[in-house]
Amino acid sequence: MRLSDATSAQLPADIARPAYDRTAVRRGVVHLGIGAFHRAHQAAIFEAALAAGDLRWGITAVSLRSAGVRDQLAPQDGLYTLLVRDGAGERAQIMGAVGQVLVAPEDPAAVVAALAHPDTHLVTLTITEKGYKLDRAKGTLLADDADVAHDVAGLAAPRTAPGFLVAGLAARRAAGLPPFTVLSCDNLPHNGALLRAAVLEMARAHDADLAEWIAEQGAFPASMVDRIVPATTPDDIAALATRLGVEDQAMVKTEPFLQWVVEDRFCGPRPDFAALGVQLTADVAPWEDAKLRLLNGAHSSIAYLGGLMGDAFVHQFVAREEGRAFVERLWDQAAATLNPPPGLDIPAYRTALMARFANPALQHRTRQIAMDGSQKLPQRLLAPLAAGGGDALALGVAAWIRWQSGQTDTGETFAVDDPLADRLAVAARSDDPVTATLALLGVEVEPAIRDAIAAHLTNLERSGADGAIRTLLKGT
């Protein structure tokens, strides 16, 4: 029995399910990057809009790479279970906002058509930092990327997110339709401005008038998103099947906390975001910095230090006195570099973060967080370190460099999951691994910071992550 067949009668009474008419829903959202995070975060907001009676905000979801999520959702008519877990238990809800999943490499024209549809008002993205195809040092598209070169040469069958956006916007302009609002939901500082620059660069490569039209009439608000969404495991699917009486291959699990801060800059219709719990603001940057440097910076440090020690999950790291003390020290140093916006209570935020980290029901894997470190470290750890942060931040960076060896402190080997993995491994084995590794990121640091990272790296190699943390804390 499929999940879609079970929603009418067979599901347990305590399972929430769509009460609106799914056949009446219009797809006002196209989402690029239909992974677990979107299904647990933005899709939950659009689901709430539909449940409140505004049926304009169904989702056409797009995978820019593989067909995996489409193949999970299609047999279930787009339905999936959102499982919210905390220490007190779990709550399950069947989500109906996703109406269709397209796989871009299979049918790029269908993606462009969805972007150009008159019902589309909002395009959201969770494509990870590497999906933007940006030269981080220059803020421009990657000149040597094969997919970027393909889209610069022609947009008959785009391959990149900027390429699809430009093709969709060009089709709208040709049809006499206004542009859509493009809303990045990835952990990139100034994500709206970066995405706008990438789209305008791609547009100018094809049509200067189109680029001017996008610049004048389009909108690329910045946003900050926050919700911990661990990877789903076969055990999760089996446990939910026992509860539901039907298997859901597309289920996602998450925590109760959800935050979405959006710059109030749109060029067309939008949901009543404020009524749905989304915070609209004139300036996302201070919220973004706080989240990147406190939550994400701590997460990355935990991933590499905990991973080296053999911690499979975040809650195991903070369950130890030394682990929790390290995180608090890192937060002290990162918080000193922030300019908190009105309404953000940093001490209360830290308390809430620690409770989230300590939630054993989430089973948030350190190796999931450790992925794509080269794309994440500049904004999570190196930016606050350059802004005056201290030794805990430097140890987090050193642990990331140590991670490139592909071996834990106990000798277990693993594959480093990073787009620069091969080059990072060579740099980490060089005579000056700190300078060589940071050079791959296009990052230069002051000599004192470089030396501090190098000293921690030496200690990690000699004493392991546990010993390096203890040495750090003794120096308090």
What tens digit of pLDDT does each residue of 435-452 get?
999 999 989 899 999 999
**Does residue 3 register a pLDDT over 70?**
yes
**Does residue 299 register a pLDDT over 90?**
yes
**Does residue 7 register a pLDDT over 60?**
no
Residue 137 pLDDT: 75
Phi then psi dihedrals of residue 35, to 5 deg: -100, -170
Residue 319 pLDDT: 98
**Does residue 203 register a pLDDT over 80?**
yes
**Does residue 5 register a pLDDT over 70?**
no
From 173, 260, 248, select the one nearest 208 (Cα to Cα). Answer: 173
As a whole number of Å, the CA-based R_g of the chain is 22
Q: What is the mean pLDDT of residues 457-474?
A: 97
Rounded Cα distance, 429 and 401, in Å: 10
pTM value?
0.91
Residue 452 pLDDT: 96
Rounded Cα distance, 471 and 177, in Å: 62
Scan for tokens 């549809």, then name that residue: 117
From 111, 77, 112, 117, select the one nearest 95 (Cα to Cα). Answer: 77
Specify which residues 174 forms β-bridges with: none
Average pLDDT, the chain: 95
Q: Please give, one letter per residue, the 3-state secondary structure of 137-172.
A: CCCEECCCCHHHHHHHHCCCCCCCHHHHHHHHHHHH
Q: What is the mean pLDDT of residues 51-56?
A: 98
pLDDT in tens, 99-149: 999 999 999 999 999 999 999 999 999 999 999 999 877 889 998 999 999
